[in-house]
Amino acid sequence: MNTDFNLLKLKEIADKSYPEHRNRIGAALVCESGKIFTGFTIRRSSILGSTCAERMALDNWFQDEEKPMPMKLILVGKLMRDGWNDTHICYPCGMCRELFHQFAYNFKIKNFDFECYSWDLKNRDTKNIRVLLFYGKPFYGQ
């Protein structure tokens, strides 16, 4: 697997998700400088009060004084849904897609990828932010 972050380490981060019996999702925001910011999911009684792994990784980036240029977000997850298993690829939720769209727009990031994996790490799909949440030229420029 071609990645800048150890996926087994990302699964360890995902295992910190709370509560443990629910979804386990880990995210790593990889920057051009090589710096990496990670996050995991915390599920609370309200979805609005919950924290997605992707948002936690981004919040950790915001706390950094240097704020190196992000180039991709690596995501691995196990979703506890009927009919789902360890082979299903975990993609960012709609709220995180919108958040990263605003982030890319505000920081003038024109090329940002989501590298998404299944829990068993055998399935991978990479999608550009323009594919996951398309708003067209007025938002992304030429």
**What is this structure's pTM?**
0.87
pLDDT band per the 50, 70, 90 thresholds, residue 139: low
Range 56-88 burial, b when 16+ CB lie within 10 A, else e? bbbeebeeeeeebebebbbbbbbbeeeeeeeeb
For 16, other C-beta atoms within 10 Å of its C-beta total: 15
CA dist 54 and 114 (Å) reads 10
pLDDT digits (tens, 9 = 90+) for 1-13: 344 579 999 999 9
